[in-house]
Structure 1
Amino acid sequence: MTNSSETPIKGAAVKSIGFLLLDNFTLMSLASAVEPLRMANQLSGRELFRWVTLSPDGRPVKASDGLQITPDVKFADAPTLDIVLVCGGVGIQNAVSREHTSWLQLQARHGRRIGAVCTGSWALAKAGLLDGYDCSVHWECLAAMQEAFPRVAMTTRLFSIDRNRYTCSGGTAPMDMMLHLIARDHGHELSAAISEMFVYERIRNEQDHQRVPLKHMLGTNQPKLQEIVALMEANLEEPIDLDELATYVDVSRRQLERLFQKYLHCSPSRYYLKLRLIRARQLLKQTSMSIIEVASVCGFVSTPHFSKCYREFFGVPPRDERAGQHVNNVVALIPASPDTDHRSSARLALDSAQGESTFASVRL
């Protein structure tokens, strides 16, 4: 593996990725994972990745939008893979069969790196492949997984890369995870160029969290707590005193403290601070507001205090956070691979892309 600032080693082995399609998988998540691989091949001018879709018997698998995808291969005919990613979607509890879990366990025993997109993490957890690992999953599945698989370290992050397990939530989050992996193996320049091709303004990282509706974390039994959090979210610039918050929802300060400790595992003031810092991070990454302005609109009375809290929470000061989002390095051409295998989907996509104006337009 190369350092993210280095160029890939010429002649490095092509990485093969298998996408296991489960019934009612989300097509958007599959596309978000595959398209960065295609563009990595196209912009680098060589086949860095190849991929196949799989199912137990090779029969068509229906996506959640009703479209059917005919997998490239069935399990018995699967090529040797470097990574296996499970594509989940709607009704995941009923989509995972014993065939799926047995095959995934076999792949893990063979040393494959294993991952999932959207709700596909459920299949990995059911196969016992996430015990002791950090895991991301679409927020709709988060509470159910926490209850069903207590040995799995569930997180609200957009994606989690923990040793040889790669998991992410749904929608466009798979693109962020794949861009991160591409940057890690082939440099930030290529990853940034792919992002530009997809008009993807900011590549989110492992520290970014999906916004989980509180009702999906708490259920419908805590309306007071939901109301308090809604008030906090609506008053980030001028934080409301905790006694006032308690009065607004007709609970005592002590009851307020107990609710947060029991259901959100922190004090109300800590949770409020977390909301303000997450908002500050969004503004630093997505706007040109000065650090002083960001501190002010997020309710901090001084910039030094804001910087101290930010560093303690995220591990970097606001100035470094902002500086880290820009990549200005120039990239060198990678000659086209002499590989003549035209059978993979990746190779076919690369061949057909050679006539496009963007082919090999980025140099590594």
Structure 2
Amino acid sequence: MKDQVEKISLGILIFPGFPMACLTSCIEPLRAANEISGQEAFSWHVIAEQDQPIQSSAGVTFFPDSTLADAQSLTHLLFASSPNSVFDNPSKANAALQRLMRNKTRIGAISGGVFPLARTRLTRDNPLSVHWCYEAAFQAEFPEIPIHGTVICEEGAFSTISGASAVFDHMLALIEKRLGGDVMAEVACWFQHPFIRSGTVTQKVPAISTAQSQDLLPKQVAKAIQHFAEHIGNPIQISEVADAVGLSARSLERSFKKATGHSPLTYYRRMRMNQARQLVLYTNDPIAEVAYMVGYATPSAFMRHYRETFGVTPISDRRAKNSMRVGSDDVLPSG
């Protein structure tokens, strides 16, 4: 075990409707590391823009330790929020963030927190990790920012983390750096964290309507899905995809049915609908524009397929999401 080390101070900047799992995945491994090592190697602070209680997406209320304007001497500051979160006073918040960055605080975000971070414009064109379920909405709002599909992206002055489990991995990396591999391994075992991922690991994405992730599908089926993903806005013919993966259209049909239970065409349409739903729920883009963005020539066909897929119209779906707001923000998955 290492001798006494300089304390690492982590701030978690929370917004109304933030995913609670992201907060606990930051704090619990650091608490355990302190206990195991017998040192106060880490401290943590819950921070908010205003000095008032903040309700999480689970409905649990948290009282911040300090406001962003008063935050001092932080080694790291991570945004935890939904995609729709914004600062009440952006200019004052940006001034506080720039002050922290001048004092060597590393700024970052977890899951939906990447949206308010990007809205500060402090990241400029720095690559960021974006959770797969928010990629379409993020690209629509920030087309100039490169997206990394890894669980963690640490480039330039920013650390972006795709979700709550990835936060735990990131905290383990901080523990290893400050207290050594033995303490890090014991913390992981305390929580039965199954394995310790590098930040460069690609995010797992679920295969549609199967009990598998896409990386577990047969190679040629996975390649076909990748081609579909690259042609959401400009639809591609199934025969073209079959040629690209070295199969006949009939063989691709059989392989898809066996692996996913769906035809390639049905699977492709569901991919386009899932991306459309991100845009419906997490952007304010007009429904007609969403239809064009996922490759529909007319909104009427898009709306018909959307209702067939999700059982509601895009307009109704957006209204229902808005009715589930917590405070001024949205209820979202923990990522």
CA deviation string 1:129-187 (max 9, x = no partner):
32332311322222222232233221121111224321111232210111122223332
Judge conservation of contact 2:16–2:81 (CA < 8 Å) in 1. yes
Q: Which of residues 156, 159, 162 is equivalent to 1:166?
A: 159
Q: Deviations over 1:216-267 (max 9, x none)?
A: xxxxxxxxxx99xx9996435x97998xx99xxx95643556xxxxxxxxx6
8 Å Cα contact 2:4/2:39 also seen in 1: no
Which residue of 71, 81, 84 maps to 1:93? 84
Cα shift at 1:32: 0.6
Q: Deviations over 1:109-137 (max 9, x none)?
A: 33311111121111221112323323113
Match of 2:42, as an amino acid?
F
Contact 1:87 1:120 in 2 (8 A): yes
Q: Are residues 144 and 268 of structure 1, via their aligned partners in 2, closer, same or farther at CA, if it must alter by over 3 Å?
A: farther
- TM-score normalized with structure 1 length: 0.57
Letter aligned with residue 254 of structure 1 = E
| Shift in alpha-carbon separation, 1:111–1:232, aligned structure 2, 3 A | closer
Larger radius of gyration: 1
The whole-number CA distance in structure 2 between the counterparts of 1:41 and 1:48 is 6
Of residues 169-178 and 37-46 in structure 1, the stretch that sits farther from structure 2 once superposed is: 169-178
Q: 1:139 to 1:234 in 2, by over 3 A?
A: closer
Moved more, 26-35 or 80-89: 80-89
1:55 aligns with 2:53: no
Q: How many residues align?
A: 235
Per the TM alignment, residue 79 of structure 1 is displaced from its structure 2 partner at its CA by 2.6
- Distance in 1 (CA, whole Å) between partners of 2:67 and 2:239 is 59
Return the match for 1:175 from 152, 168, 171: 168
Any stretches of 5+ residues in structure 2 without a counterpart? 229-235, 247-251, 253-335
Matched, 1:210 2:193: no
Structure 2: how far apart are the matches of 1:122 and 1:87? 10
Q: Deviations over 1:81-126 (max 9, x none)?
A: 111111113xx22444414444323322333111111211112211
- Confirm whether residue 29 of structure 1 aligns to residue 14 of structure 2: no
Pair 1:77-2:60 in alignment? no
| Structure-2 residue corresponding to 1:281 | none
- Which amino acid counterpart does residue 15 of structure 1 have in structure 2? I
Tell me, yes or no, if the aligned pair for 1:15 and 1:49 is still in contact at 8 Å: yes
Q: Superposed, which structure 2 residues align to 1:313-352 within 5 Å? A: none
Structure 2 length as normaliser, TM-score? Answer: 0.61
Any conservation in 2 of the 1:24–1:88 contact (CA below 8 Å)? Answer: yes
The residue that corresponds to 2:129 in the other structure is: 136
The residue identity in structure 2 corresponding to 1:157 is: T
Measured in 2, the distance between the counterparts of 1:252 and 1:176 equals 39
1:254 aligns to 2:237 (yes or no): no
Give deviations 1:254-290, integer Å, cap 9, x for gaps. Answer: 3556xxxxxxxxx647xx9xxxxxxxxxxxxxxxxxx
1:235 to 196, 218, 237: 218
- Segments of structure 1 that go 5 or more residues without pairing to the other structure are 1-6, 216-225, 258-266, 273-364
Q: Counterpart in 2 of 1:45?
A: 38
Residues 50-88 of structure 1, C-alpha deviations (whole Å, 9 max, x = no match): 111111222001100111100011234323211111111
Contact 2:69–2:96, Cα closer than 8 Å, also in 1: no
4+ long deviations beyond 6 Å: 238-242
Using the aligned pairs only, state the percent identity: 27
What is the one-letter code of the residue matched to 1:184? K
1:118 matches 2:111: yes
Give the root-mean-square deviation of aligned CA atoms: 3.5
Which residue does the alignment assign to 2:278? none
- What is the rounded CA distance, in whole Å, between the counterparts of 1:140 and 1:28 in structure 2? 17
Residue pair 2:74, 2:105 contacting (<8 A) in 1 also: yes
Q: Distance in 2 between matches of 1:235 and 1:254?
A: 19
Shift in CA distance, 176/231, structure 1 to aligned 2, threshold 3 Å: closer
Q: Write the distance in 2 (CA, Å) between the matches of 1:62 and 1:95.
A: 15
- Decide whether aligned partners of structure 1 residues 100 and 213 sit closer, same or farther in structure 2, where only a CA change above 3 A counts: farther
